[in-house]
Structure 1
Amino acid sequence: MPTAAPAPRPLRWRALGALCAALLTLSPAAPSAATPMGDPPLSVPADRLAAALDCPPDLGGSARDAVLLVHGTGVDADLNWGWNYAPALSELGYDVCTVDLPGRSLVDVQESAEYVVHALTTMRAATGRKVDAIGHSQGGLQLRWALTYWPSLRGSVDDVVSLGTPEYGAAAGGLACILSCAPALHQMSPGSAFLKALNSGDPTPGDVSYTGIYTRDDLVVTPYRTSVRQGARNIKVQDVCGVRLVTHIGLVYDSVTFRLVRDALDRPGPAAS
């Protein structure tokens, strides 16, 4: 299996710096057609949902599963994925789609999740087979919410890989809400109504392979063990390479993490621990 990993190029350091700045300076910034029976209708207009999804024109032409990349808080799809996973996976033969969540994913997570629902539904229809999804940070929560509350999606998704996702909340979210608070930050605070609802049922719904990858050096999702989801295959980077220094942002360009992601996408079931 190829072990090439998305390493930041010299000209991409500006993007990495912008991603760091976004995470450190977070600030707030006609319904669609009904979904299948048993799913709630989408409230976001269909044209907005369609405009947010970016896929290759020949989506479905690859022998590999298509992959949806879902970005984290305070950034957009290009800043999170455009210089690392998107080109790296494309070069390996995957059809890669990205979705731009509203307000750089600072709005209500429930609203942002509708964009993920639309993206997964559209990709499944275009390819005719199950798709894979990767979420960084809050992006993993978007995928969880979508698969929990839109049960028809579970038959459309093969693998979900979460990178540094605050499955049970992050202390940093609560600290950011002392003076003012974007809705998504409040929802990611430990004990929020959103997290209580998300974690009240099956944490790994459906016949989907769930892999969670996290790092002990995460200073954004704290404590870092909040990224460990019950029922998923949880892998700490340092359990694979003990001396590896990988930050929260580093999860989107670290080579060991990328190999674990590839393993999850390529093998039946979740990544090997």
Structure 2
Amino acid sequence: MTRLWNPSRSRALKVLAAAMLGLFVAVLPGTTSPAAAAVDGPPLNTPVSVLDAALSCPGTFLHPDREPVLLVHGTSSTYDETWEWGYSPALRDAGYDVCGVDLPNRAMGDIQVATEYVVHAIDRIHATTGRKVDVIGHSQGNMEIRWALKWWPSLQAQVDDAVFVADPGHGIGGGNLLCTGSCAPAMHQFRIGSNFLVALNAVDETPGSVSYTNLYSLTDEAIVPVTTAPLDGARNISMQGVCPGRTVGHFSFLYDAVAYRLVIDALSHSGTAEPARLPLGTCLDVNLPGVSPSEASTATAIAAANLNAEVLNATKFPAEPPLRAYTQP
């Protein structure tokens, strides 16, 4: 299956420059076993070599005054397709060391498996830098972040900010419609009332002392009904509550200027994002720094094409993946 990705020349050069600056985090001493294990959490079944290969970080972390940032992409996408044309260069220009993780099977498989990549990434970045990590997710990527922080509680001390962008926190109606028969594992888990979501949201939706910022939009065409978006214990911020009448769709969150301002506000202050701190006139801005209207349109079209291709062609199963044993009392 051919996937579409053709960034503009300027963005392609930025991607190339980033690749030249640093490729993958080196395997640290003591991680030569075929599978990894996180402290105070279940063992990881994915081999360390696979987890390391999925993580990209600068060869050298250049900003010791700020937490490194881990970006986690969503369904049917990759790190490059979601972040490298917009958020990654913007955050680097703003003075942050940026890492990204590629979830397996373009995040169409079991979210419990994909979470192992996020667990390992947070733990590895923390061990490498000796600092807490800021994690930002888009769409399904937020589910991996939340699952990791819930079931690997040691990570709660390794994460400063968790910023959720367009999080399907309590499920989406589209999952229920698409999964009346066989569908991809992640789609089963998106369903409102799925076993996965019941386990994810049980007892405490925002565990630990992590600063949880949750950005959602009343015009997000994927998070329907929008009442599933807010999370107990998070700073829930609707885009229309900040800028009345603003239209922010599911994918346009990735280049919306106001959403980006809120993300930066969360990263650069103690605690969660606070809309009252945004500069006067922020609602007049359109795209995040460095993203042109044509780039935004192209990226949106590519994301839609890849989602459609994955929904049609991903390996399908008649039922939701069983919950892992560690979720049981």
Structure 2 match to 1:7:
none
Flag as ranges the 4+ runs of structure 1 deviating above 3 A: none
CA-CA distance at 1:245 after TM superposition: 1.0
Deviations 1:205-257 (A, max 9, x none): 11100000011111111112211101100000011111211101011100000
Tell me, what secondary structure is at the counterpart of 1:143? helix
Tell me, what secondary structure is at the counterpart of 1:141? helix
1:11 to 1, 8, 11: 8
Question: 1:35 and 2:32 equivalent?
Answer: no
Tell me, in whole angstroms, the C-alpha distance in 2 between the residues paired with 1:225 and 1:60: 41
Q: Which moved more, 1:151-160 or 1:219-228?
A: 219-228
CA-CA distance at 1:61 after TM superposition: 4.2
CA-CA distance at 1:62 after TM superposition: 3.8
1:171 touches 1:223 (CA, 8 Å); kept in 2? yes
Tell me, in whole angstroms, the C-alpha distance in 1 between the residues paired with 2:179 and 2:52: 32
Instruction: Label 1:260 to 1:109 Cα distance change in 2 as closer, same or farther (>3 A).
Output: same
Q: What amino acid is aligned across from residue 63 of structure 1 in structure 2?
A: D
Q: Which moved more, 1:61-70 or 1:143-152?
A: 61-70
1:124 to 126, 150, 154: 126
Structure 1 match to 2:246:
244
Structure 1 match to 2:291:
none
Deviations 1:35-65 (A, max 9, x none): 22x3100000110000000001002644211
Tell me, in whole angstroms, the C-alpha distance in 1 between the residues paired with 2:160 and 2:224: 29
Structure 2 match to 1:187:
189
Tell me, what secondary structure is at the counterpart of 1:248? coil
Structure 2 match to 1:210:
212
Structure 2 match to 1:197:
199
Tell me, in whole angstroms, the C-alpha distance in 1 between the residues paired with 2:179 and 2:133: 36
Instruction: Label 1:99 to 1:263 Cα distance change in 2 as closer, same or farther (>3 A).
Output: same
TM-score by length of 2: 0.73
Tell me, in whole angstroms, the C-alpha distance in 2 between the residues paired with 1:61 and 1:257: 23
Structure 1 match to 2:109:
107
1:56 to 45, 55, 58: 58
Q: Where does the alignment leave 5 or more consecutive residues of structure 1 unmatched?
A: 1-9, 16-29
Instruction: Label 1:212 to 1:52 Cα distance change in 2 as closer, same or farther (>3 A).
Output: same
Tell me, what secondary structure is at the counterpart of 2:163? strand
Tell me, in whole angstroms, the C-alpha distance in 2 between the residues paired with 1:144 and 1:187: 14
CA-CA distance at 1:129 after TM superposition: 1.0
2:271 to 252, 269, 272: 269
Tell me, what secondary structure is at the counterpart of 1:111? helix
Q: What amino acid is aligned across from residue 182 of structure 2 in structure 1?
A: S
Instruction: Label 1:125 to 1:226 Cα distance change in 2 as closer, same or farther (>3 A).
Output: same
1:66 to 65, 68, 88: 68
Deviations 1:150-179 (A, max 9, x none): 011011000000011011000111222134
Q: What amino acid is aligned across from residue 202 of structure 2 in structure 1?
A: S
2:34 touches 2:49 (CA, 8 Å); kept in 1? no
Question: 1:230 and 2:232 equivalent?
Answer: yes
Structure 2 match to 1:136:
138
For the pair shown, which has the larger CA radius of gyration, 1 or 2?
Answer: 2
Tell me, in whole angstroms, the C-alpha distance in 1 between the residues paired with 2:38 and 2:115: 14
1:68 touches 1:96 (CA, 8 Å); kept in 2? yes
1:60 touches 1:66 (CA, 8 Å); kept in 2? no
Tell me, in whole angstroms, the C-alpha distance in 1 between the residues paired with 2:86 and 2:210: 25
Structure 2 match to 1:5:
none
Q: Percent identity?
A: 52
Structure 1 match to 2:87:
85
Structure 1 match to 2:168:
166
Q: Aligned runs of 1:149-160 on 2, under 5 Å?
A: 149-160=151-162
Structure 2 match to 1:18:
none
1:60 touches 1:128 (CA, 8 Å); kept in 2? no
Q: State the superposition RMSD in angstroms.
A: 1.9
1:62 touches 1:93 (CA, 8 Å); kept in 2? no
Structure 2 match to 1:255:
257
Q: Where does the alignment leave 5 or more consecutive residues of structure 2 unmatched?
A: 1-6, 13-32, 276-329
